[in-house]
Structure 1
Amino acid sequence: MSAEPGSVPILRTSMETYDFGESEDLLRRRYVDHHTQAGSTEPDFLFRSRMATAGPLIVDSPQWRAGMTFHTQPFDAIHILTVVDGRAEVTAGRQQAGAKAGSALLYPVGLPLEISLDRSTQIAIQFPVGEVRRVSERFGLDPADFRFDAMNPVSPAAARRWEATATYLNQLMAGPEIHQLLLRTALDVVTTTAVTVFPNTAMTVDYIAEPGRIAPAVIRRAVAYVDEHAAEPLTVEEIAAAAGIGTRTLQVGFRRHLDTTPAAYLRHVRLQRAHRDLQAADAARGDTVADIAYRWGFANLGRFAGYYREAFGRRPSQTLQT
């Protein structure tokens, strides 16, 4: 079956093995070169994994029925694991951190790691470093100055927020494909959450004064760009570039002139397009609310229904059935 227009295929690999060497080879191909030792008292070694990849986003669900220690080469991507059960510990130079069930660990980029797992089941998320550097601009930080400072979340509440995000991504990647708008949204969600959950330089940046006068014409250019490209996987940075201004200036300008944010305006436009498509849809032809919501980048149907009802005073299903 061919993919729907605008969709990105989700590539899947899975393994269940009692062979220590086979699991090591798989992890070396997936991530980075390393050498591994299993616990000497673990005769019942078992490794399971189910990995989904869409574009630059990887969601893996590894499980080790053994105590394991990995000595790895440096990672060049952001890799964050949520511990479902068991325990994990990481040493990177002088840094050390651990996580038990319900918490998370962010692997430092660019450093060799020693990773110890105690009969651990995880959800592991990996995405490019460039994504967090891009998002850091929204916090008023030069991307060149961005770095993560520690491996554990800043608080238990932050750890729960990351766990919810990892669960959401695991569910989102369950199908055979993902619409490019949903993939862009997923990358924005995972990177923004990471920057708000794990200690980093964006959290300690000094206050930056707001820009001075921002001409209304600049914001009109940004609005026109959003209106024209709403069906594409837009980022705030792309909207700012199209308007010829920086990300922070764009955000301030939207707040001053439109009393909203660029992201909220983009959501408004997509909601209007979804409303139009629902009005033109026919349930008898097989059209569904879910298909239309996904088409316009709304991954969470409950949230989409809430936005829709707030905007139009009725449920999406009522519009489709009219």
Structure 2
Amino acid sequence: MSESDTGSISPDGPNDLIDNSNMRTLVLSNDLEETQEAISSAYSPYRLSCLGDPEDFSAWYAEGGFPGITLSGLQYGAETLVDPQPLGSYLLVCRLVNGGVRVSSPGREERFVGTGQTYVLDPYRKFQVHWTPGARMTTVRLARETVEQAAADALGVEGPVRARFTLEGTVSGKAARSWEGISEAVHREVLGEGIARNSPILASHLTQTTAAMLMETHHLVTGGIDARRTGVVAHPAVRRVMAVAEERADEPLTLTELAAVARCSPRALQEAFRRYLDTTPLGYLREVRLGRAHEELVAAQGNGGVTVSDVAYRWGFSNLGRFAAYYQQRYGHAPSHTLRM
């Protein structure tokens, strides 16, 4: 085994990392047993099998990072099977830089991952990775505690959540681009001359942002927690806006004002509402106002001094025709009928 500070990502050079000067090569070897011992120490207890010609076997492993995030690169020169124990204390997001691997969770899932694609290995499951000759990947390592808290935040529940992930990769093309963006930022800060390397506060924020992005871009599986079915809203920004809609339903709130409350962009807020509540922020506000108008009409039954138009205007409905249509759709009859009941 060779240990060096040159940080060479492979014999061919770092064609997927912005700067590898802060990576340290821990393994550069043609010896199977030596490689197995070294990488077992870096990851978890690790059984390594060369499925091709033993004469073709080679391995390279390097890593670098700061508290919270570790980046690594790994390559095998021959067809190789990796069979580790569960990771336990951390999670890996793996991205194929060259070639491909077949990753499987025995008895559960199996997937071929090609160049440019990602998969997640959570801390809890056993898995196997079948490497094609010359395949190379980079990994982002996050502590289990960081991931479990990010999952709790994403689901809007208290305390850490045992967060598991499928092997399906990113949830969409947009998600893949978002993950690629945060990954590039992490590589710049960790492996280049980014200021986060010398700023514990920025390093912590970057770590938390990376974990939060993982929740939104990959297939999260949680034990019995489903925000859409339990009534728990799965996004802090959505919860903040829901609270404001309930408290200030009689005020002329705009999308821009709601986004400021949510501490995100109007577009991001709209996407979050569509994902978790299948509506828009203003659509949710309208439903709250409609409910308040209904309550007031019910309370005013028999009171000749109250009109539908008065109630509608008070709750922000300037177009009486639209108000009547929304009301009919929700309650099954006209608002005037409620007032006369």
**TM-score normalised according to structure 2 size:** 0.56
2-structure distance, mates of 1:157, 1:249: 24
1:105 has 2:127 as partner:
no
What is the aligned partner in structure 1 of residue 93 from structure 2?
A: 80
Of 148, 159, 164, the match for 1:133 = 148
Shift in Å, 1:164 = 3.2
What is the aligned partner in structure 2 of residue 150 from structure 1?
A: 166
2-structure distance, mates of 1:62, 1:263: 39
What is the aligned partner in structure 1 of residue 281 from structure 2?
A: none
Letter in 1 for 2:30: Y
Q: Which runs of 4+ in 1 moved over 3 A?
A: 141-146, 175-178, 201-204, 207-210, 246-259, 261-264
- Inter-CA distance 47–263: structure 2 relative to 1 (3 Å threshold): farther
What is the aligned partner in structure 2 of residue 170 from structure 1?
A: 187
What is the aligned partner in structure 1 of residue 24 from structure 2?
A: 13
What is the aligned partner in structure 1 of residue 338 from structure 2?
A: none
**Structure 2 unaligned residues grouped into runs of 5+:** 1-20, 249-256, 265-341
Shift in Å, 1:166 = 2.5
Taking only the aligned residue pairs, the percentage that are identical comes to 11
Letter in 2 for 1:148: R
Shift in Å, 1:110 = 1.5
2-structure distance, mates of 1:11, 1:263: 34
* Cα contact 1:88–1:117 (8 A) shared by 2: yes
- Inter-CA distance 65–168: structure 2 relative to 1 (3 Å threshold): farther
2-structure distance, mates of 1:261, 1:184: 24
Deviations 1:156-195 (A, max 9, x none): 3323332333232222112473311221122122111210
* Cα contact 1:16–1:47 (8 A) shared by 2: yes
* Cα contact 1:82–1:166 (8 A) shared by 2: no
What's the secondary structure of 1:71's corresponding residue? strand
Deviations 1:124-165 (A, max 9, x none): 011112222222333324555553341222223323332333
* Cα contact 2:166–2:221 (8 A) shared by 1: no
CA RMSD of aligned residues (A): 3.4
What's the secondary structure of 2:64's corresponding residue? strand
2-structure distance, mates of 1:200, 1:170: 23
* Cα contact 2:147–2:163 (8 A) shared by 1: no
Letter in 2 for 1:89: R
- Inter-CA distance 175–149: structure 2 relative to 1 (3 Å threshold): closer
What is the aligned partner in structure 2 of residue 91 from structure 1?
A: 104
2-structure distance, mates of 1:209, 1:35: 42
What's the secondary structure of 1:206's corresponding residue? helix
Shift in Å, 1:254 = 8.5
2-structure distance, mates of 1:17, 1:251: 56
Deviations 1:64-94 (A, max 9, x none): 2221111111112111100111112222132
Of 202, 206, 213, the match for 1:182 = 202
**Structure 1 unaligned residues grouped into runs of 5+:** 1-9, 211-245, 265-322
What's the secondary structure of 1:43's corresponding residue? helix
- Inter-CA distance 29–175: structure 2 relative to 1 (3 Å threshold): same
* Cα contact 1:90–1:98 (8 A) shared by 2: yes
- Inter-CA distance 249–206: structure 2 relative to 1 (3 Å threshold): closer
Shift in Å, 1:48 = 2.1
2-structure distance, mates of 1:35, 1:90: 15
Letter in 1 for 2:121: Y
What is the aligned partner in structure 1 of residue 136 from structure 2?
A: 121
Could you say which structure has the greater relative contact order, defined with CA pairs below 8 angstroms and 6 or more residues apart? 1
1-structure distance, mates of 2:24, 2:152: 35
Q: How many residues align?
A: 222
2-structure distance, mates of 1:26, 1:187: 26
- Inter-CA distance 132–250: structure 2 relative to 1 (3 Å threshold): farther
